[in-house]
């Protein structure tokens, strides 16, 4: 019998990916119509020894149109992709690229230091690096100097 190490970040990422895909289909109508005013960018999530890494596909969006925020241990990436121009004289056969606003949220583990999170945007890919929080170690509490518990009784006799 082999033991498999439980990796909560992988399970969390898979769950969020499935929920985002499902919610995108519900909110966006028929997949591939390109007419929706909201959409969800693809995101890859993985962990290294020291950090959690999120990589968002955001092609065609200027860096100043992307917002990365952390509030109550939830990292949210949001923004908008605009359709550059409408060419009414040209014949379009298919619109597959989505345009409009987007917002994608990922719950971070407890204890993450928000000021240590780093984001970098290059070639249409936003990479957010979140340092893992230090593991909480149990703290031993000494009971009095003699090992006896001191106190007074509140019981009335």
pLDDT for residue 11 is more than 90 = no
Q: Give the domain ranges of the chain.
A: 57-84+94-133
| Proportion of the chain above pLDDT 70, given as a percent | 66
pLDDT for residue 36 is more than 50 = no
How high does pLDDT run on average in the chain? 79
Q: Indicate the helix (H) or strand (E) that contains 21.
A: helix 8-28
- Nearest Cα to Cα of residue 119 among 72, 56, 61: 56
Q: Cα(138)–Cα(152) distance, rounded to whole angstroms?
A: 29
pLDDT for residue 150 is more than 60 = no
Q: Cα(111)–Cα(69) distance, rounded to whole angstroms?
A: 16
Q: Indicate the helix (H) or strand (E) that contains 53.
A: strand 51-57
55-81 pLDDT per residue, tens: 999 998 999 999 999 998 899 999 988
CB 96 within 8 A of CB 32: yes
CATH architecture of structural domain 57-84+94-133 = Sandwich (2.60)
For residue 148, the number of C-alpha atoms closer than 13 Å in the C-beta half-sphere is 4
pTM score of the predicted model: 0.61
106-129 pLDDT per residue, tens: 998 888 899 999 999 999 999 999
Range in 8-12, 28-32, 60-64 the model is least confident about: 28-32
């Amino acid at each position: 019998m082999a033991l498999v190490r439980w990796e909560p970040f992988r399970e969390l990422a898979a769950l969020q990916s499935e929920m985002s895909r499902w919610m995108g289909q519900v909110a966006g109508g028929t997949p591939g119509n390109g007419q929706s005013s909201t959409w969800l960018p693809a995101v890859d999530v993985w962990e290294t020894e020291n950090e959690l890494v999120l990589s968002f596909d955001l092609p065609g969006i200027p860096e100043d149109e992307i917002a990365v925020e952390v509030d109550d241990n939830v990292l949210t990436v949001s923004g908008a992709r605009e359709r550059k121009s409408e060419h009414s004289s040209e014949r379009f056969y298919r619109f597959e690229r989505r345009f409009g606003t987007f917002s994608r949220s990922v719950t971070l583990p407890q204890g993450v230091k928000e000021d240590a999170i780093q984001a970098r945007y290059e070639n249409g890919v936003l990479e957010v690096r979140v340092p893992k929080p230090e593991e909480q170690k149990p703290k031993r509490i000494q009971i009095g100097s003699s090992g006896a518990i001191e106190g007074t009784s509140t019981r009335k006799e």
